[in-house]
Chain A
């Protein structure tokens, strides 16, 4: 396997991460926020895989990213259930409306 230049991968990962964060902070739609989360996670995944490929660490990065994907799926399932319940209670999924726990 020939060595590759990690920079383009890292830049894509960083862009994905920043897009995700911006999506989470700006979206009022709960589903949108979830999508932002996915983006962040996948940006991180890309980093894992890149460093795994460019360093003598073997397959550790890939394994980690697989875990992250599984966890993300599980998280999405839970979060969608929350979203449904939230909708049942508030007849909307605008996350700004869910501030009953404020101090």
Chain B
């Protein structure tokens, strides 16, 4: 069993580090391969593709051990999937490294490398592998591989020595020229993959934070890829700065955790003296009713830091020293960490950066800003779930609910194809948060995985459309593209149906039983539906069960239900607007072409997964089953509370499933029908509606005024403060400096005069006199030999005369 843990850790480490290797090679050597070389892209695809193979292998091995949830056993045998296999499970968990809460979870954890130790504070690179980690690894590497391949086609216009950016104008009115940056794009993508996988595999919350920032900087680099465009560089700054706000909360959460718990590790750690040090998740345990062990006055939560004979974590007896944390602090810590998730996952009120982030190239939007990085916030909320108390979950639920609704309404009026998808992403992320918040741990993360597939698919489709339309992104100029680009249109339709959550009840699929290697679908027929139907259903069912328990929070069900209808409406609007109807821009329409295979093939792969990855839904579905393996134990029973919020148990969710599912399906169909009437059939002219409700339209088109509000609240005051600071700088500090400088100049001037007048004067005088002497003596040198002789003779005579005259006689 340990060997399985080691195998998984090794495989995932390879998958994690390969993109880093690719990044280093590309950033150091790719410029030598030339700007027209695709070698950097091939290297990046090789690294992430191998990463996918490693992840998939690890997943297969895990699956074999966990009871063949996805893949068939070697000998075909009927396997029960719905129930956990207790016999094999016991063997699994007995040797599994940390046994937590109960026998349900299987976690492999350990330390790669210890970075530093400050007193008791250990900073290390750990790994924490459970089924959620594995599912995320497979999802991220698979989507990233598809997007890398797509990007080789999409970014191929960068393969030139001289790239002309038509959206940047130079001073003389021409377009901006720069060298192509193909390899740089792929090196950033590789760095991003490394950071994202590191975030997923991280075994302590500090390591998560490190990679959290690393994906942030990759996002910054990729949004600002066309850095010469003012909008792109502004959007990159905005994304980074808005994320700082959330990260501030994250840091506060980290400080509280460190102060109260004394560790950052998720899982228990074996220490060198043979003992076991409890991890974060072990220290916060709940009893069967979901209550924490509390101190006598009920305000402090006692941490379970002592192991009993069976390895379960217990509250230490009264006599021994106990670790406690105030309940309010636990709330603050949870809210702080969730604050980080709010920033990264673009939740209300920090959602404004994500639509602007669409300035990056479309593959980036697909990979970073829809499927993986923004989902990291949801992932962290899921990973950190055992630490969240019901009050924090309530906040999470409301934040998610508001986000889902606000973003969905804005998406109705957006006309930029990528902006619609961006708002839809925010809305769906809100759904996931809502799912987590109402106690649907599995539902939220289920939606995370399914959403990653269909949203990356739709972004790539939009990329294909944009490339086909020569970088036109405005939907009002498109229309009627179905015939021109059929593959893109149909794969997009798959994504749209998936996100809208459409299904045809009563029609059951049997054909899965013919597919070899896949075990689970043998005995059950399935509703004809795509992935989003199942995951959205799961969230709504949980929300319904939650509102039944807490009637006060009935909006947590009604608003998501309404949002489901809106989602269906605007997604079909996008599809009808783009692909059906008459071409609205004839000139553009004539030049549209279907994208090459290198771009459509990833679409086909992703559309397959978008359609079928959630097959079987919550009851028999393999994906949900896999995720369910990592579910924190306390979620199963729910939580009944007299004076705070209650959480539904699985049984309660199961009971609400049918009614919630029907309501959601109805909402989705209504949305689709409305959309078809308005945009497909043209029964009502959308411009007419827009005119009728111009106030609402303006409000929505202005994104509920969030940008303006933040502009007034934060940006403008910041500018005022900055101007004030600049004035102080200019008029005070600069003046002081200038005075010093002026004094220096005066001294120098005097010094110069002395130098020039006195020192130079003496030297020049000597030089000049010597020179003039030479000039005058020069005339003596006549070259006339007889003259010289005369001089000599006269001189000799003169000397003699002088000698006789002056020499003393005697």
Contact = CB atoms under 8 A, between A and B. Distances in A.
Contacts of B782: 99, 102-103
Contacts of A27: 786
A95 B790 CA distance: 14
B803 interface: no
Contact of B786 (A25, A100, A101, A103): A25
Contacts of A96: 784-786
A95 B785 contact: yes
Interface string B30-43: 00000000000000
A102 B789 CA distance: 15
Interface in A84-101: 95-96, 98-101
A103 B777 CA distance: 9
Contact of B783 (A26, A28, A101): A101
A100 B785 CA distance: 11
A98 B789 contact: no
Given A21-B793, A25-B790, A103-B778, A33 B784 contact: no
B779 A103 contact: yes
Nearest to B789: A24
A100 to B, nearest CB: 6
B644 interface: no
A33 B786 CA distance: 9
Contact of B789 (A25, A99, A101): A25
A25 B784 CA distance: 10
B781 A102 contact: yes
A99 B159 CA distance: 79
A4 to B, nearest CB: 24
A101 B778 CA distance: 11
Contacts of B765: none
Contacts of B779: 103
B780 interface: yes
Interface centre among B777, B779, B780, B786 (most CB of A within 10 A): B786
Task: Bin the interface of chain B by size.
Answer: 10 to 19
B780 A103 contact: yes
Contacts of B790: 25
B786 A99 contact: no
Interface in B739-788: 777-786
A33 B789 contact: yes
B799 to A, nearest CB: 14
Contacts of B778: 103
A102 B793 contact: no
B801 to A, nearest CB: 14
A25 B777 CA distance: 22
A24 B793 CA distance: 10
Given A21-B793, A24-B789, A24-B793, A99 B784 contact: yes
A98 B793 contact: no
B780 A95 contact: no
A99 B782 CA distance: 7
Nearest to A95: B785
Contacts of A102: 781-784
B498 to A, nearest CB: 106
Nearest to A30: B785
Nearest to A25: B790
B803 to A, nearest CB: 15
Contacts of B789: 21, 24-25, 33
A96 B789 CA distance: 12
A95 B777 CA distance: 22
Given A21-B793, A24-B789, A25-B790, A103 B781 contact: yes
A24 B792 CA distance: 11
Interface residues of A, number: 15
A100 B783 contact: yes
Contact of A25 (B780, B781, B783, B793): B793
B789 to A, nearest CB: 4
A26 B786 CA distance: 7
Nearest to B782: A102
Interface string A17-37: 000010011111000010000
Contacts of B777: 103
A27 B779 CA distance: 23
B783 A98 contact: yes
B797 to A, nearest CB: 9
A100 B782 CA distance: 9
Nearest to B793: A21
A33 to B, nearest CB: 7
Contacts of A98: 783, 785
A83 B778 CA distance: 26
A19 to B, nearest CB: 12
A26 B784 CA distance: 12
B793 to A, nearest CB: 5
B793 A99 contact: no
A91 B601 CA distance: 102
A27 B786 CA distance: 8
Interface centre among A28, A95, A103 (most CB of B within 10 A): A103
B46 to A, nearest CB: 85
A99 B781 CA distance: 9
A28 B784 CA distance: 10
A34 to B, nearest CB: 11
A21 B793 CA distance: 7
Interface in A61-103: 95-96, 98-103
Nearest to A96: B784
B452 to A, nearest CB: 98
A28 B789 CA distance: 12
A33 B790 CA distance: 12
Contacts of A21: 789, 793
Contacts of A28: 786
Contacts of A24: 786, 789, 793
Nearest to A36: B789
Given A24-B786, A33-B786, A101 B781 contact: yes
Contacts of A95: 784-786
B792 to A, nearest CB: 9
B776 to A, nearest CB: 10
Contacts of B785: 33, 95-96, 98
Contacts of B783: 98-103
A18 B714 CA distance: 114
A52 B363 CA distance: 121
Interface string B340-355: 0000000000000000
A75 B234 CA distance: 97
Interface in A3-54: 21, 24-28, 33
Contacts of A103: 777-783
Contacts of A33: 785-786, 789
A25 B795 CA distance: 14
A3 to B, nearest CB: 24
A28 B785 CA distance: 9
A28 to B, nearest CB: 7
Nearest to A21: B793
A98 B781 CA distance: 13
A83 to B, nearest CB: 12
Nearest to A23: B789
A26 B793 CA distance: 12
A99 B784 CA distance: 5
Nearest to A100: B783
B626 to A, nearest CB: 108
Nearest to B777: A103
Interface string B282-300: 0000000000000000000
A82 B782 CA distance: 20
6 contacts: A25-B789, A25-B790, A95-B786, A98-B783, A103-B777, A103-B783
Interface of B: 777-786, 789-790, 793
Given A25-B789, A99-B783, A103-B782, 11 more contacts: A24-B786, A24-B793, A25-B793, A33-B785, A95-B785, A95-B786, A96-B785, A101-B781, A102-B782, A102-B784, A103-B783
Q: Which 3 pairs, one residue from A and one from B, show the smallest C-beta to C-beta distance? A: A99-B783, A102-B783, A103-B781
